[in-house]
Amino acid sequence: MTEVSIRKMGRAGRITLTRPKALNSLSYQMCLDIEAALDDWREDDAVDLVVIDAESDKAFCAGGDIQAMYEHGLKGDYAFGRTFWRDEYRMNAKIAEYPKPIVAFMQGFVMGGGVGVGGHARIRVVGETTQVAMPETGIGLAPDVGGTYLLSRAPGKLGEYLGATSLRMNAGDAIHAGFADHYIEREFWLDLIAQLEETGDAGLVAPAATTPPEAPLKRAQEEIDRLFDGTPVEIAAKVDAADTEFGQSAAKALRRASPLSVCCTLANIARARNVDTVRQVLAFEYEYTYRSMEHGDFLEGIRAQIIDKDRDPKWRHARIEDVSEEDVARMLAPLGEDALSI
């Protein structure tokens, strides 16, 4: 059975993720199929826009198929994961740079690889069930699929907060943070998609939007900016000392994450602020993911969170304070001939 439905409907190219039992997590083949469809429709005069959605009420896409990477990496085969990430990132770049409007309808979980598919679309729709996150630090990775680009453009230090803690956003937060554009209740999505297919007019989306729900992170922006400004060690000290419920929740999430991942995430967000395109950010995200199995915490993170589910990872560093600048530099060094080429 196919894991993604590719077809043309009226004036629209249609991509529907059809792996609901796996929360539409992206397999390697799904990445290749999405890329091939975008390539086919790029010069197709019969296609005015592309609509991306997903089956299932629970998830648009909860991430990449990390279990397959784990199984290969456990055997010392790091090439599979590196190839997966390389080709997935190429697909992410094509979505971000696509010459025709791409409209993404994102319900339920939109995490990691799901942000890579929906978060770079030109028009991003969320609804009442949407929960968006870049959860990588909790599994020994750093935000990737171009997510670092979005984090670096979020207001104030919101990107640092979201990237380091892996915490989730509701629909209002996602719009505030720049991960989405429009709030439309899900009951209206099918009719709107039918209109997009009939007309090929992406301008129909904005008028259909309504006021999004409250964004708790917008309300907490001042505290976020204060707590998440500084070096990783300074940030850790500030959240540890926080006397608010919000600060204590952030501290718990930060201390639960891989210390190496947190430090590399904060470094990458700072780097992303100094470049202009998603493509550039993908290139240095790949520097981390390329090394994440062999030299990082990825395999241990997956073991603890997904495989054994003991939620007790044994990270390479016990605390953020134990991660040196040299440790971060090694994970983020240029890859030379292995560098990402899109």
pLDDT for the residue 1: 59
Mean pLDDT, residues 156-164: 98
| Nearest alpha carbon to residue 260 among 209, 321, 186, 199 | 321
Residue 158 near residue 217 (C-beta atoms within 8 A): yes
Residue 65 near residue 28 (C-beta atoms within 8 A): yes
Mean pLDDT, residues 135-154: 98
Mean pLDDT, residues 263-274: 98
Least confident of 1-5, 77-81, 261-265: 1-5
Higher pLDDT, 225 or 65: 225
pLDDT for the residue 125: 98
**Distance, CA of 61 to CA of 94 (rounded, Å):** 18
Which tokens is 281 given? 């950010």
pLDDT for the residue 281: 98
Mean pLDDT, residues 64-90: 94
Catalytic site positions: 64, 113, 136, 144
- DSSP bridge partners of 234: none
pLDDT digits (tens, 9 = 90+) for 15-70: 999 999 999 999 999 999 999 999 999 999 999 999 999 999 999 999 988 888 99
pLDDT digits (tens, 9 = 90+) for 97-107: 999 999 999 99
Residue 175 near residue 126 (C-beta atoms within 8 A): yes
Residue 152 near residue 141 (C-beta atoms within 8 A): no
Residue 170 near residue 107 (C-beta atoms within 8 A): no
**Distance, CA of 195 to CA of 199 (rounded, Å):** 6
What the chain holds in terms of domains, given with CATH numbers, is 4-338 (3.90.226.10)
Give ∠ CA 208-151-14 in degrees, rounded to 5: 45
pLDDT for the residue 168: 96
